[in-house]
Amino acid sequence: MSESMTATNLPDLASNLMMAAVGLRELVLQAEVVTSPLELGPVCYKVEESAQLLETFADQISKADRVIREGQPVARTLHDGMPWGDAAEPGAVLTLHQLLALAGSRHRSEDSIPYLDGVRSAAQAEPYVSSRVWRSSSTREQRERLVAAYRQACSTCRAVPGRPCVTKSGRVMTEVHQPRLRAAE
């Protein structure tokens, strides 16, 4: 793990997801009325769906944060009877959906435990790094570089911070000009 890896607290993550959803809803409004005769209805539906998905995640992450902070009882075993956390081999941290399901399930009180008590070893190793960081095809460092590059202006195509690079013919690029990447280092 690199020293520069910053950890995000769950309330901040939830509120950032909500902000991103607001941005997506703004894009739907833009795509609904365009200057050329092009039907963007299907695009609007998809972007709208993405906004709803982000809102759902924000809501679920807020709920999970309360379960964790308030030490609400969480069932000691998954629905298939398998243990989780320090009781599992190897230690298994719950996913968002597992945590909400186990916190919401009706169970006898002796079969439940505050979440952080069940994942002591992972909680001590804070911050927690998603398994995605190890599995993803692009490294965390590569993705951090890309985000940092977008925060800079591009000296090649004159894209301002936050805007994508464009080709000489004005087409939006899905990649970033190399000097912009280097400027972010």
Q: How far is the CB of 185 from Zn ion (least distance, A)?
A: 16
Residue 177 interacting with Zn ion (CB under 5 A)? yes
Among 157, 163, 167, 174, binds Zn ion (CB under 5 A): 157
> Which region among 36-44, 88-96, 136-144, 157-165 touches Zn ion (by CB under 5 A)?
157-165
Cβ–Cβ < 8 Å for 92, 84: yes
Cβ–Cβ < 8 Å for 99, 65: no
* Dist CA 133 CA 7 (whole Å): 13
* Dist CA 51 CA 62 (whole Å): 17
Q: How far is the CB of 135 from Zn ion (least distance, A)?
A: 30
Q: How far is the CB of 142 from Zn ion (least distance, A)?
A: 18
Cβ–Cβ < 8 Å for 143, 150: no
**Size of interface with Zn ion, in residues (CB under 5 A):** 6
* Dist CA 150 CA 165 (whole Å): 9
Residue 165 interacting with Zn ion (CB under 5 A)? yes
Residue 154 interacting with Zn ion (CB under 5 A)? yes
Q: How far is the CB of 169 from Zn ion (least distance, A)?
A: 13
In the region spanning residues 54 to 93, those forming contacts with Zn ion, defined by CB under 5 A, are none
* Dist CA 120 CA 124 (whole Å): 6
In the region spanning residues 105 to 124, those forming contacts with Zn ion, defined by CB under 5 A, are none
> Which region among 7-15, 57-65, 81-89, 175-183 touches Zn ion (by CB under 5 A)?
175-183
Q: How far is the CB of 155 from Zn ion (least distance, A)?
A: 8
Radius of gyration of the chain (CA): 21
* Dist CA 161 CA 183 (whole Å): 12
Contact positions toward Zn ion, by CB under 5 A? 154, 156-157, 159, 165, 177
